[in-house]
Structure 1
C-alpha cells in the first residue's frame, strides 16, 4: 500500500480534546491521496489488539428506512433531495467556528477530527454516524421526507463515469469545474461558497477521460466484499482502493481534508457504508466478526459539537433503534 505523509509535525494534525482543531492546511497530508497519515498510524496502533465483551443492540428497529441508489429515485425525489441540501447551505451555522452556514457545520466536524477518522479502524463507524447526522438534518431542519441516497459508482465504472447521471446539471449534483480555478459553474450547487479551508468556490477537477473507472469496477468491489475475512482487511482494501479513487477522480475539494464541501461526498460515503453493510450481512460470526480485534467498541467517536458523541459499539448495527435503516 502506497502511503504519503505530510511535511508538518505529527502534533500539528492532532485534534484537541474538546471540539477538535483544524489541521494546518499547508502541512497536513492529503488523507485521501495518501490513504493514511502519521497520526492515523499512531491512532490505529493504539486500537489494535484491544477487545471488549460488549455487543451492540441488533434487530431492535421495527420499521427501517431504506436508502436507494441515485438513479432509482424519480426526478421529483432527486429534486426534493437537492432542494433540502440547498436549504442546509442557506441556514445559519449552529456551531462556533469560521463557517457561516449549517452545511459548514458538517464540513467543520469532518475536518476537525480528520486525523483520527481516516486510515484508522474507526473510519467506517465514524462516517456511518456522520452521514446519519446529515440525513437527520435534512429531514428535521429542511423538511426532507426521503432518505439519504447513495451513488453506486460501480454502475458507471464499466462505461464512462463522466456520463453518470450524478453529474446532471438539472437532476444531478452538477458537473466538472471550469478552468482556471476549477469552479463548478453549473448545476444546483454552482452558487455555494465553501468556507474551508478559506472561502472559495465549490471545486471539481475530474482526473481523466475515464475518472479511474478501472479502479472501482463491480468485480473489484465484489472481491473486496466477498473475500475479506476480517473487518481490518475489508476496511483497508475498500478505504485505500475504490473509496480513495473516487475522491481522486472527482478532484477539486474531494481529495482534501475538507472533502465534504462537495455534496457528492455524502452519496459517495453512503455507498461506502452500504458496502460495509453488505460485508456485515455475509459475516458468519455476526456483526462483530473481526471488528473487536481492531476496535474497542467503547472507543468514543467525536463529532466536534455536531450532536452528541457516540461509541463505536453503538453504530455497528444499522438495525438498532439508533439507526434503523438498510439498503
Structure 2
C-alpha cells in the first residue's frame, strides 16, 4: 500500500514542466510520461533501451522518496509467476493492494476496480513506433486509464522457459533481441521478447509507444526489464558488464552513431544527463541496489 500511496502522491503533486509547452502535463507523474514521450524515438527497439530505462526508473524511485516520503524500493513485475493468467495476479486482480484490474469492456475498457479505478490519464494513446514525434504529441487529451488484458501474450513470451532462454543469451545482441523484439522485419511482427509482450498484454494505455508510463504498471514492468539485464550482466562480468550494441535510432537504423560508453543520455527535467558508462552497473556511481 505504501507504493500505491506514493504513486497517488505523485499524481497530486504539481509538475515541473511548463503547461505552455506541455499542455497535457498536469502533475509529477505526467512529467515522467512527457520525458519518456520526448525521448521515445531514441530509446526503444535499439541499443539505448536498457540503459536509458534503468536511469528512468531509478529517477522515479528517487522522486517517490524525496517528494512523497516513500520509504520502500521500486517493486518489479515478476513476469513468469502469473504469465498464464494475468488477472489472477496480485498485481492485476483489482484488489485494494493491486495496481487495479482489467478494463471494463462495457465502458471503453476503462479500469474500474482497485486503487486506480476511474483514473484519468492526460495524453492521447494509440500512437505507433515512428522516427518522428507525432504532431500535438503533448496536447491535453484526458481519458480513462484503459486496459484489455491479454494473457496469451505473456503465456508465450514471458513464461519461465522464455526467461531462461533470455538469461542464456550468449551476447548482448542476442540478449537485446530476446528481451525486446527481433530486428529482422521479416519476423518482428510475430516474435516478441518479454518487454514487448508485457506492453502488448496490457494493451490500452500501456501499449502506447510514447505515453505508456501513464499506466502504473509501467514502472514495475521496467523494473523487471532492469532485473533481467542486471542478472545477465552479473553472470559474466568480463563479457557482459560493459557489453553494448546498437544506436539511438528506432530499430537501430543507421541514422545515429554506434553507442559507446561515452554516449550521453538526457533525462530532461527528471535529472542530469549521464554517460552510458554511468548506467552500466547498479552497484556503482549514483546507484546502490541489487535484485533478489
**Is 1:237 matched up with 2:237?**
no
**Is 1:187 matched up with 2:109?**
no
CA contact (8 A) 1:231 1:289 kept: no
Q: 1:292 to 1:176 in 2, by over 3 A?
A: closer
The aligned counterpart of 2:235 is 282
The aligned counterpart of 1:7 is none
**Is 1:206 matched up with 2:149?**
yes
CA contact (8 A) 1:212 1:245 kept: yes
The aligned counterpart of 1:318 is 282
SS in 2 for 1:285: helix
CA contact (8 A) 1:154 1:216 kept: yes
Q: Single out whichever of 119-128 and 275-284 deviates more from structure 2.
A: 275-284
Q: CA deviation at 1:192?
A: 2.8
**Is 1:302 matched up with 2:266?**
yes
The aligned counterpart of 2:157 is 215
Q: CA deviation at 1:295?
A: 2.7
The aligned counterpart of 2:200 is 248
Q: CA deviation at 1:203?
A: 1.0
The aligned counterpart of 1:94 is 16
CA contact (8 A) 2:199 2:206 kept: yes
Q: 1:175 aligns with which of 93, 101, 117?
A: 101
Structure 2 Cα separation of the partners of residues 142 and 284 of structure 1: 36
Structure 2 Cα separation of the partners of residues 189 and 141 of structure 1: 20
CA contact (8 A) 1:193 1:199 kept: yes
Extract unaligned runs of 5+ from structure 1.
1-78
The aligned counterpart of 1:147 is 73
Structure 2 Cα separation of the partners of residues 103 and 188 of structure 1: 16
CA contact (8 A) 1:175 1:187 kept: yes
CA contact (8 A) 1:182 1:204 kept: yes
CA contact (8 A) 1:230 1:291 kept: no
Matches within 5 A, 1:152-163: 152-157=78-83, 159-163=84-88
Q: CA deviation at 1:287?
A: 4.6
Matches within 5 A, 1:81-160: 81-96=3-18, 97-98=22-23, 99-157=25-83, 159-160=84-85
Q: 2:166 aligns with which of 205, 219, 224?
A: 224
CA contact (8 A) 1:153 1:161 kept: no
Q: CA deviation at 1:284?
A: 4.7
Deviations 1:63-89 (A, max 9, x none): xxxxxxxxxxxxxxxx01100011001
**Is 1:269 matched up with 2:222?**
yes
Structure 1 Cα separation of the partners of residues 244 and 164 of structure 2: 20
Structure 1 Cα separation of the partners of residues 226 and 241 of structure 2: 16
Instruction: Tell which has more relative contact order, 1 or 2 (C-alpha 8 A, sep 6+).
Output: 1
Number of equivalent positions: 246
Extract unaligned runs of 5+ from structure 2.
125-140, 182-192, 247-257
CA contact (8 A) 2:153 2:201 kept: yes
Q: CA deviation at 1:162?
A: 2.2
Matches within 5 A, 1:7-26: none
Deviations 1:198-253 (A, max 9, x none): 21111111125x45412211111111112x12212201210121111111111111
Structure 1 Cα separation of the partners of residues 178 and 245 of structure 2: 18
Query: In angstroms, what is the RMSD of aligned CA positions?
Result: 1.6
CA contact (8 A) 1:154 1:217 kept: yes
Using structure 2 for the length normalisation, give the TM-score: 0.80
Q: CA deviation at 1:188?
A: 1.0
Structure 2 Cα separation of the partners of residues 117 and 91 of structure 1: 27
